[in-house]
Amino acid sequence: MLGSLLTLEQNLLNAASEEAFTFIAVNELHHLIPFHQALLWRDSGRDGKVVAVSGLPVPDTKAPYCRWVGALCHHVLTADEYASSNHDDASPTLQRVLRALQKRDVPERFAKQWDDWLPQSLLIVELKTADGRRLGALLLSRSHAWSDSELELMHAVAASMGAAWGNFLDARGMMAAVRDSFPVLWRWFLATLVVVILFLVPVRQSILAPGEVVPYRPITLRSPLEGVVESVHVQPNQVVEKGDLLLTLDDTYLRNALVVLEKQVDIVRAEYHQAAQRHVRGGGESGTVPLLRRKLDQKKAEMQYVRDQLNKVRIVAPKPGVVILDDPDALDGQPVGIGQRLFTLADPANVWLRIHLPVADAVTLDTGTEMIFFPFSAPDYSYLGQVRQVGFTPHLVQEGRLAYRLHADFNRKEPLPIGTRGTAKLLHEPVTLFRYLFRRPLNLLRPWFWTSS
């Protein structure tokens, strides 16, 4: 008997896990004391929890049998009338640890189901740690009563089992202890409360939108007259100085028109002189001379207009800058109208960021809103800035969706290259975490559930 007790204690202390410990506790007691069934009950909340049943690898803790036994064990260990053993000659220490019960010893609500679940005798062995903290109980059931020697033996087993189980429960940590100390409904309530508190935590709302570095107030070069592009003299991103030739229009039509007008001016001038001489000699009509004079002035004005147009076929740079042009070959030979845009001349040192904010993500933004730009060409760098211009009319962007156009300045002095693309993060005022996460879903659901008051 002593050898079996020592073997059991050694196996309990050397168990690799709490699951192995509970299995040993209910299945290896047959070597010490005969019983019909053994259960291990953990004191964890309202009615506790049955964690092991002899002969079963994993018990169904929600089964009616386990729930009834758990309620019975909790009632017995917490009620004062069961504080002593039914063996009057047992020692006080033994009476505080062991409860030997029969059907007549329990209340009616347990007695009416006793025969359905248990045989005649039930022994409840309370398990505690060395400092007196109750962990649970070991329940043994059989058809005949318990002897004093068996009670003494189970008292020794209770001390060893409580010490070994306490080591595992201490290692489970604070979260497991909290989980076992509250019933399921309380745990759901606490979890819901934590979620609600988290949803009320203020966070900085941020919106992501595509951005591109563009020149600030560039000069747009337009066609001064109607014609055909003869030659483009610059390349994309070429640096030019004031007066450099940029583009030439075809002047064939204008030169031909100038030649025709020069001939017409000579003819009208000759007619005018002949009419003036006849008028002096008194042989001509008096009204012919003023008429020819006005016709001559008209032809001269037309000729001067054509000359002015010829001076415009050579388009030069009005100021130093960089040429913003996609493809010179695409522009070469194209017909253009008056005022048609040709390309842009920009100052590379004076740039800002153009942001296309989708309408679905739009929030109220003011000038001065903080912004962080993450360029695609340098993912390990970011650039701070502030929004300086907010557009209120959405435009159709290349992706085929509507977006508001915003412009922002950079805090850094060194400008980014024109055309740099990336993602702009707009930092809005703090909002609750709930609004931050569910802003877009609520916008989609609002037309279906919200009505005007």
- Single out the residue of 228, 239, 251 nearest to residue 332, CA to CA: 228
Pick the CATH number of 2-185 from 1.20.1250.20, 3.30.450.40, 3.40.50.620, 3.40.50.300: 3.30.450.40
Structure-token match 């076929």, residue found? 313
Per residue in 399-408, is it b (16+ CB within 10 Å) or e — as a string? eeeebbbbbb
Q: What is the pLDDT of residue 275?
A: 81
Rounded Cα distance, 171 and 18, in Å: 10
Helix%, strand%, coil% for the chain, nearest 5: 40, 25, 30
Rounded Cα distance, 414 and 436, in Å: 34
Strand partners, 355: 211, 406
Q: What is the pLDDT of residue 353?
A: 92
Q: What is the pLDDT of residue 375?
A: 92
Per residue in 156-178, is it b (16+ CB within 10 Å) or e — as a string? ebbebbbbbbbebbeeeeeeeee
- The beta-carbon contacts of 257-260 under 8 Å, at least 24 apart in sequence, are 257/306, 258/303, 258/306, 258/307, 258/310
**Residues 128 and 162: beta-carbon distance below 8 Å:** yes
Domain positions in the chain are 2-185, 222-249+313-334, 251-312, 347-449
pTM for the model stands at: 0.49
Pairing mode of beta strands 341-346, 219-222: antiparallel
Mean pLDDT, contiguous 10-residue spans, the chain (453 residues): 75 82 85 88 80 88 88 84 50 63 89 90 88 86 88 85 78 53 68 89 85 90 89 89 90 88 88 80 69 87 89 90 86 88 88 88 80 89 90 80 90 85 88 80 72 53
Would you state the structure tokens that stand for residue 23, as one six-digit string?
């299995």
CATH number of 347-449: 2.40.30.170
Q: Which three-class secondary structure state does DSSP give residue 93?
A: helix
**Residues 139 and 39: beta-carbon distance below 8 Å:** yes
